[in-house]
């Protein structure tokens, strides 16, 4: 069996939660391989929605095994809150979730460092979710980090050593922040005990054994390709590998075991936080997209920046991850627009260019192609034949430019509002 991967192809918030929940019906195993509680994956049940941060989006499917991989960074306090909220819905979360011993822990002082780093950057801040992601990954690659497996032996000593290093760093900042470290720490220690009640696993042996037994695994990406630490608009990125390769290193699975790579993108673009966004609309149309698409952060509540679809960025994301199937989300948000625009290229410092530029401060101007908008309610379409011709032309153009078929259309938050194409 193969490891199939779901990835966000833009700047996050593409709708990965909904799609993983839908696809999870076909996968006995769902696994997160990178990121942490900076993610906010929303799943809709009738009129209520649930936001997952660290737990894989397969948790609501009966019999699904959900794995938190070694590439993830885990905050025990957020994890516990999330699990208790899931349990309150009657879902036996402890039977469904397993955690890699090699996953790294986010300490309360990581959050303080995140806030101090951002404050020191002033106007050039990244716009981090302030969940401690960057500092936790820095400790991981800097070989200082604490891992879930450390909870099993001499934990307090290891914790205090790392905390002291953090406090020494924090003392160098002119930084005050209303944060009760002692209280956060006391709670964190209790939440660590809660975390220890879950199966703590050697994830690389487990994932490979599951594949050998004939169980397909769906790897659920967090964030998006344009926030990848290597290929995103550095330094305005997250601190993990959000592209397909991250699924191998984040779960201990070899590249040749990868099967399908599902690339999820919205029919337009959004970005939350700082950094380049060539097709951004700072006008009434941008506001309309934000309101109609409910484009407010699921993790931080911040209003998301909005703009038209960006083809060079989409092609770039498809290239670095070898996407085999495209999944288009939220085209229903564009219902009733007279014209829909797509950036088919850029003008960078005045010169025509089809590549995503290295320089994040370059002057990028999109070159647009215009499409006639469609009338009617895409949210009600259940078959290909129901789709308006203008919308089909929009999809056909994207497929032709990107060279990958759009296999799934999500036309609303509900599981039923999903059209699988032949
Ligand atoms: P999901 O999985 C959208 C953005 C932040 C910031 C940058 C770095 O829901 O798509 P970090 O907290 O990682 O240090 O922030 O990345 N960011 C996201 N944007 N969706 C996400 O996750 C994001 N996770 C991080 O806004 O610009
Ligand atoms: Mg999000």
pLDDT, tens only, 74-114:
999 999 999 999 999 999 999 999 999 999 999 999 999 99
Task: Encode 169-190: b = buried (16+ Cβ within 10 Å), e = exposed.
Answer: ebeeeeeeeeeebeebeeebee
Q: Specify whether the CB–CB gap between 375 and 388 falls below 8 A.
A: yes
Q: Does the beta carbon of 42 sit less than 6 angstroms from any atom of ligand 1?
A: no
Two tokens, residue 249:
């290193």
Ligand 1 atom at minimum distance from 14 CA: 10
Q: Kindly give the distance from the C-alpha atom of residue 91 to the centroid of ligand 2, in angstroms, as a whole number.
A: 23
Concerning whether 41 is annotated as a catalytic residue, the answer is yes
Residues whose beta carbons lie less than 5 angstroms from ion ligand 2: 13, 40, 298
Q: Which residues contact 92 (CB under 8 A, 6 or more apart)?
A: none
Q: Which of 271, 272, 278 is nearest to 311 (CA)?
A: 278
Phi, psi of 300 (to 5 degrees): -115, -10
Concerning whether 180 is annotated as a catalytic residue, the answer is no
For residue 50, the surrounding DSSP H or E stretch is: strand 48-52
Q: Does the beta carbon of 232 sit less than 6 angstroms from any atom of ligand 1?
A: no
Best residue for ligand 1 mutational test, from 129, 134, 277 (most atoms within 8 Å of Cβ): 129
Percent of the chain with pLDDT over 90: 95
Percent of the chain with pLDDT over 70: 100
pLDDT digits 0-9 by tens, 16-63: 999 999 999 999 999 999 999 999 999 988 888 899 999 999 999 998
pLDDT digits 0-9 by tens, 320-357: 999 999 999 999 999 999 999 999 999 998 999 999 99
The residue from 4, 13, 114, 228 that is catalytic is 13
Q: What is the CA radius of gyration of the chain?
A: 21
Q: Which residues contact 189 (CB under 8 A, 6 or more apart)?
A: none
The residue from 4, 21, 41, 104 that is catalytic is 41
If you search the block for the tokens 């700047």, which residue do you land on?
11
Cα 337 from Cα 281, distance rounded (Å): 15
For 164-187, what is the mean pLDDT?
A: 92
Angle between helix 181-195 and helix 76-87 axes, rounded to 10 deg: 60
Angle between helix 108-121 and helix 133-141 axes, rounded to 10 deg: 110
DSSP string across 210-275: HHHTT--EEEE--S-GGG-TTTSSTTSS-SS--STHHHHHTTT--GGGEEEEEEEEESSEEE-SSS
Q: Specify whether the CB–CB gap between 98 and 68 falls below 8 A.
A: yes
Task: Encode 343-358: b = buried (16+ Cβ within 10 Å), e = exposed.
Answer: bbbbebeeeebeebbe
pLDDT digits 0-9 by tens, 256-315: 999 999 999 999 999 999 999 999 999 999 999 999 999 999 888 999 999 999 999 999
């Amino acid at each position: 069996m193969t490891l199939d991967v779901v990835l966000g192809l833009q700047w996050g918030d593409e709708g990965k939660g909904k799609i993983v929940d839908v696809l999870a019906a076909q996968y006995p195993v769902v696994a997160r391989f990178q990121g942490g509680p900076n993610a906010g994956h929303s799943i809709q049940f009738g009129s209520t929605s649930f936001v997952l941060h660290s737990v894989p989006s397969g948790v609501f499917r009966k019999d699904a095994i959900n794995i938190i991989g070694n590439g993830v960074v885990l905050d025990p306090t957020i994890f516990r809150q999330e699990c208790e909220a899931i349990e309150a819905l009657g879902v036996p979360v402890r039977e469904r979730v397993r955690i890699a011993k090699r996953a790294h822990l986010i300490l309360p002082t990581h959050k303080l460092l995140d806030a101090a780093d951002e404050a020191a950057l002033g106007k050039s801040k990244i716009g981090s979710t302030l969940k401690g992601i960057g500092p936790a990954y820095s400790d991981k690659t800097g070989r200082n980090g604490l891992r879930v497996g450390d909870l099993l032996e001499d934990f307090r000593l290891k914790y205090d050593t790392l905390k002291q290093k953090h406090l020494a760093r924090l003392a160098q900042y002119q930084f005050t922040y209303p944060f009760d470290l002692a209280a956060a720490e006391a709670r964190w220690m209790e939440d660590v005990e809660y975390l220890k009640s879950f199966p703590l696993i050697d994830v690389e042996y487990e994932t490979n054994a599951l594949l050998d037994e004939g169980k397909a695994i769906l790897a659920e990406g967090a964030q998006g390709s344009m926030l990848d630490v290597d290929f995103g608009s550095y330094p305005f990125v997250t601190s993990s590998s959000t592209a397909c390769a991250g699924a191998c290193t984040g779960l201990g699975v070899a590249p040749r075991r990868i099967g399908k790579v599902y690339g999820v993108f919205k029919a337009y673009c959004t970005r939350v936080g700082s950094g380049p966004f060539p097709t951004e609309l700072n006008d009434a149309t941008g506001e309309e997209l934000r309101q109609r698409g409910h484009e407010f952060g699921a993790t931080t509540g911040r209003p998301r920046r909005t703009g038209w679809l960006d083809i060079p960025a989409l092609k770039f994301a498809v290239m670095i991850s070898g996407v085999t199937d495209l999944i288009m989300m939220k085209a229903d948000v564009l219902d009733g627009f007279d014209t829909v625009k797509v950036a088919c290229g850029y003008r960078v410092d005045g010169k025509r260019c089809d590549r995503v530029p290295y320089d994040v401060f370059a002057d990028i101007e999109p070159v647009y192609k215009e499409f006639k908008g469609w009338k009617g309610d895409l949210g009600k379409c259940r078959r290909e034949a129901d789709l308006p011709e203008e919308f089909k032309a929009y999809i056909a153009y994207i497929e032709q430019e990107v060279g990958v078929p759009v296999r799934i259309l999500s036309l609303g938050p509900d599981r039923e509002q999903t059209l699988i194409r032949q």
